[in-house]
Protein backbone atom coordinates (compact mmCIF):
# COMPACT_ATOMS: atom_id res chain seq x y z
CA UNK A 1 0.00 0.00 0.00
CA UNK A 2 1.13 3.56 -0.62
CA UNK A 3 -0.14 6.98 0.53
CA UNK A 4 -2.66 7.12 -2.36
CA UNK A 5 -4.14 3.71 -1.58
CA UNK A 6 -7.81 3.97 -0.71
CA UNK A 7 -9.09 2.04 2.28
CA UNK A 8 -12.59 1.00 1.26
CA UNK A 9 -15.28 1.12 3.93
CA UNK A 10 -18.70 -0.47 3.59
CA UNK A 11 -21.43 1.97 4.67
CA UNK A 12 -24.44 0.60 6.50
CA UNK A 13 -27.69 2.45 5.64
CA UNK A 14 -28.02 3.43 9.32
CA UNK A 15 -24.83 5.48 8.95
CA UNK A 16 -26.44 7.90 6.51
CA UNK A 17 -27.87 11.01 8.14
CA UNK A 18 -29.58 13.74 6.15
CA UNK A 19 -28.31 12.10 2.97
CA UNK A 20 -24.65 12.09 3.93
CA UNK A 21 -22.15 9.68 5.44
CA UNK A 22 -22.02 10.14 9.20
CA UNK A 23 -18.90 9.72 11.28
CA UNK A 24 -20.39 6.45 12.60
CA UNK A 25 -19.11 4.81 9.41
CA UNK A 26 -15.54 5.56 10.50
CA UNK A 27 -15.67 4.89 14.24
CA UNK A 28 -15.16 1.35 15.51
CA UNK A 29 -17.93 -0.28 17.53
CA UNK A 30 -17.35 -2.50 20.56
CA UNK A 31 -17.29 -5.63 18.38
CA UNK A 32 -14.43 -4.13 16.33
CA UNK A 33 -12.07 -4.06 19.33
CA UNK A 34 -10.54 -0.82 18.02
CA UNK A 35 -9.81 -2.27 14.57
CA UNK A 36 -12.04 -0.72 11.90
CA UNK A 37 -12.40 -3.19 9.03
CA UNK A 38 -11.66 -1.93 5.50
CA UNK A 39 -10.67 -3.34 2.12
CA UNK A 40 -7.35 -2.58 0.42
CA UNK A 41 -8.32 -0.47 -2.59
CA UNK A 42 -5.19 -1.63 -4.44
CA UNK A 43 -6.53 -5.19 -4.34
CA UNK A 44 -10.32 -4.69 -4.45
CA UNK A 45 -12.51 -2.66 -6.77
CA UNK A 46 -15.25 -0.88 -4.81
CA UNK A 47 -18.02 -2.85 -6.54
CA UNK A 48 -16.26 -6.17 -5.85
CA UNK A 49 -15.69 -5.29 -2.20
CA UNK A 50 -19.39 -4.48 -1.87
CA UNK A 51 -20.43 -7.77 -3.47
CA UNK A 52 -18.00 -9.68 -1.23
CA UNK A 53 -19.28 -7.93 1.90
CA UNK A 54 -22.93 -8.59 1.13
CA UNK A 55 -22.21 -12.21 0.14
CA UNK A 56 -21.39 -12.73 3.83
CA UNK A 57 -24.93 -11.70 4.80
CA UNK A 58 -23.88 -8.17 5.78
CA UNK A 59 -25.63 -4.97 4.72
CA UNK A 60 -23.97 -2.12 2.85
CA UNK A 61 -25.57 0.64 0.82
CA UNK A 62 -22.28 1.62 -0.75
CA UNK A 63 -18.54 2.05 -0.48
CA UNK A 64 -16.75 5.11 0.85
CA UNK A 65 -13.04 5.55 1.44
CA UNK A 66 -10.22 7.36 3.14
CA UNK A 67 -6.69 7.20 1.80
CA UNK A 68 -3.64 5.92 3.63
CA UNK A 69 -2.28 9.47 3.50
CA UNK A 70 -5.43 10.85 5.16
CA UNK A 71 -5.09 8.26 7.93
CA UNK A 72 -1.45 9.24 8.41
CA UNK A 73 -2.37 12.95 8.56
CA UNK A 74 -4.64 12.37 11.54
CA UNK A 75 -2.49 9.75 13.24
CA UNK A 76 -4.52 6.62 12.50
CA UNK A 77 -2.28 3.63 11.76
CA UNK A 78 -3.54 1.05 9.29
CA UNK A 79 -2.46 -2.45 8.44
CA UNK A 80 -3.20 -5.13 5.88
CA UNK A 81 -3.66 -8.33 7.87
CA UNK A 82 -5.42 -10.47 5.21
CA UNK A 83 -7.67 -11.90 7.94
CA UNK A 84 -10.36 -13.13 7.32
CA UNK A 85 -9.73 -12.65 3.56
CA UNK A 86 -7.00 -11.51 1.19
CA UNK A 87 -6.92 -7.72 0.98
CA UNK A 88 -8.53 -7.17 4.38
CA UNK A 89 -7.09 -4.23 6.30
CA UNK A 90 -7.95 -2.32 9.40
CA UNK A 91 -7.60 1.21 10.69
CA UNK A 92 -6.12 0.94 14.16
CA UNK A 93 -7.96 2.99 16.79
CA UNK A 94 -6.79 0.88 19.75
CA UNK A 95 -4.49 3.53 21.21
CA UNK A 96 -7.25 6.18 21.24
CA UNK A 97 -9.86 6.88 23.87
CA UNK A 98 -13.52 7.19 22.97
CA UNK A 99 -13.45 10.97 22.39
CA UNK A 100 -10.33 10.78 20.21
CA UNK A 101 -11.89 7.95 18.20
CA UNK A 102 -14.95 10.10 17.53
CA UNK A 103 -12.80 13.08 16.48
CA UNK A 104 -10.80 10.89 14.10
CA UNK A 105 -14.00 9.34 12.74
CA UNK A 106 -15.38 12.80 11.97
CA UNK A 107 -12.24 13.70 10.01
CA UNK A 108 -12.26 10.41 8.09
CA UNK A 109 -15.96 10.81 7.28
CA UNK A 110 -15.27 14.33 6.02
CA UNK A 111 -12.60 13.00 3.64
CA UNK A 112 -15.01 10.29 2.48
CA UNK A 113 -17.83 12.80 1.89
CA UNK A 114 -15.49 15.04 -0.11
CA UNK A 115 -14.50 12.04 -2.24
CA UNK A 116 -18.08 10.83 -2.61
CA UNK A 117 -19.31 7.26 -2.77
CA UNK A 118 -17.06 5.05 -4.89
CA UNK A 119 -19.90 2.58 -5.39
CA UNK A 120 -23.56 2.59 -4.45
CA UNK A 121 -25.88 -0.37 -4.35
CA UNK A 122 -28.21 -0.42 -7.36
CA UNK A 123 -31.84 0.33 -6.50
Contact, 80 vs 87, CB < 8 A?
yes
- Average pLDDT of the chain to the nearest whole number: 95
What is the mean pLDDT of the segment spanning 45-74?
96
Q: Is the pLDDT of residue 81 over 80?
A: yes
Separation CA 51–CA 111 (nearest Å): 23
Mean pLDDT over 24-39 rounds to: 94
What is the pTM assigned to this prediction? Answer: 0.94
> Residue 58: its pLDDT value, please?
94
Assess whether pLDDT exceeds 80 at residue 48: yes
63 pLDDT higher than 90: yes
| Domain map (residue ranges) of the chain | 6-117
Tell me how far apart the alpha carbons of residues 21 and 23 are, in angstroms, rounded to a whole number.
7
What per-residue confidence (pLDDT) applies to 19? 84
What band does 18 get if pLDDT is binned at 50, 70 and 90?
confident
User: Are 77 and 92 contacting, i.e. CB atoms less than 8 angstroms apart?
Assistant: yes
Average confidence (pLDDT) over 93-113: 96
CA 66 from centroid of its chain's CA atoms: 7
Q: What is the pLDDT of residue 5?
A: 98
Amino acid sequence: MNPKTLLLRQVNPAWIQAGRISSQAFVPTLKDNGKLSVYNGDRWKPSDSHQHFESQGLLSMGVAAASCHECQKIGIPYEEDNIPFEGHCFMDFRSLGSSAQKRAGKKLAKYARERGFLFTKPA
